[in-house]
Amino acid sequence: MKQFVVIGLGRFGSSVARALGEKNFEVLAIDRDEGRVKEIEGIVSQAVVMDATDEKALRELGIADFETAIVSMAETIEDSIMITLALKELGLKQVIVKANNELHSKILRKVGADRIVFPEREMAEKLAESLASPKIFDIIEVSKTHGIIEMVAPKKLANKTLGDLKLRIKYNVSVIAIKRKVPYSKPNGTTDFKEEVIIGPGGSDELIPGDVLILLGNYDNLEKVKKL
Amino acid sequence: MNDNFDDLIELSDFYILSQKFEEAIKVLKKAEKINKVVPKLYYNLGIAYEALSEKVQARDSFRLALKIDPNFKSAQEHLDKLIEE
């Protein structure tokens, strides 16, 4: 089972620790603040009040046995740099660090951080994207040129089969899945719907209004499909 | 032709269950001109808009349903889900 150590239990760190704990991974959560540590006890495998800048204490805690560390102490830049350096020296394979700004990120790279995250910036970009294109729900970057997007099927495509639409031939875009709301009648007389996912739909599958398509393709081609 | 409110609501149920969400919205708009105080009208509108991923209209419709009937559990559940997305 994967083991994680989360250092810094502010909003981001505690959310990561909580999410990993709820997925039943082994999680060691560390913070200087006793209150923060108490809040996460019982959700993670172990929660410890400790100054993580103390390399000796980290070593004694057996941190070197963990595969991945998440350092979430962006408010105290110096501490996050020191901890990252210590974790890499202890031999952790993957150290993920929350950064505050570009300079912070640059220094973290130099001291060996394997991945740097800007949660607020990433969230802000996603929110901006969703506001700019309300019919695009998600974008996953596969490479610099290709991605997977989740979008509401353009009206023009409704009531046609994938075979008729020939998205692959015309745009070199693959429909990986279709998310569909399937209505049903509840015992109290109201209608509701449940979501059904059609994985790897075939040419005979017909799109209905409101279907959400998961598409894989080159960004330029995906853009063309978005504009249909 | 004189449209009967209850018939229109029933027709909207039929359209929703047949996945004809746009048609459901059309008949519900007609029904709204007859009676604006029935929560199910706005609930069905919310369902049809949500099915079409028209989230803003869906949220507004569920809010209207809840304004008329604050205890409309299904409307509240859909609204909560849409707000958190």
Q: Which of A77, A85, A94 has the alpha carbon at shortest distance from A5?
A: A94
What does the alpha-carbon distance between residue A39 and residue A7 come to, in Å, rounded to a whole number?
14
Please state, rounded to an integer, the average pLDDT across all residues of chain B: 92
A25 touches A1 (CB < 8 A):
yes
The counts of H helices and E strands in chain A are 9, 11
SS3 B78: helix
How many Cβ atoms from other residues are within 10 Å of residue A109's Cβ?
Answer: 15
Edge-first strand order for the sheet with A94-98 is A46-49, A26-31, A3-7, A68-71, A94-98, A115-117
Cα nearest neighbour of A154 on chain B: B52
What are the strands, taking DSSP E only, across A90-168? Answer: 94-98, 115-117, 136-141, 146-152
Pairing outcome for strands A3-7 and A68-71: parallel
pLDDT at residue A31 above 60? yes
Q: Considering only the beta carbons, identify the residue of A186, A190, A208 that sits closest to B19.
A: A208
Name the residue type at position A220: D
Question: What is the set of domains in chain A, with CATH numbers?
Answer: 3-122 (3.40.50.720), 133-226 (3.30.70.1450)
pLDDT of residue A74: 67
Look at B47 and A212 and tell me if their CB atoms are within 8 Å. Answer: no
Q: Rounded mean pLDDT of A85-99?
A: 93
Split at pLDDT 50, 70, 90, the class of A9 is: very high
Rounded to the nearest angstrom, the minimum Cα separation between A189 and chain B is 9
What does the alpha-carbon distance between residue A37 and residue A14 come to, in Å, rounded to a whole number?
9
pLDDT of residue A124: 79
Total domains in the fold of chain B: 1
User: Which pLDDT tens digit goes with each residue over B6-25?
Assistant: 999 999 999 999 999 999 99
What are the strands, taking DSSP E only, across A18-128? Answer: 26-31, 46-49, 68-71, 94-98, 115-117
pLDDT of residue B9: 95
How many Cβ atoms from other residues are within 10 Å of residue A15's Cβ?
Answer: 14
User: Which pLDDT tens digit goes with each residue over A165-175?
Assistant: 999 899 999 99
Token pair listed for B25? 């919205």
Rounded to the nearest angstrom, the minimum Cα separation between B49 and chain A is 9
User: Which pLDDT tens digit goes with each residue over A109-119?
Assistant: 999 999 999 98
Split at pLDDT 50, 70, 90, the class of B1 is: very low
The ipTM value here is: 0.82
Supply the CATH number for residue B64's domain: 1.25.40.10
pLDDT of residue A134: 63
Domain residues for the domain of B73 are 5-84
Split at pLDDT 50, 70, 90, the class of A43 is: very high
pLDDT of residue A133: 66
Q: What is the percent of chain A where pLDDT is above 90? A: 65
A63 touches A5 (CB < 8 A):
yes
Please state, rounded to an integer, the average pLDDT across all residues of chain A: 90
Q: Rounded mean pLDDT of B56-63?
A: 95
A177, A201, B74 from B81: Cα distances, Å: 22, 27, 11
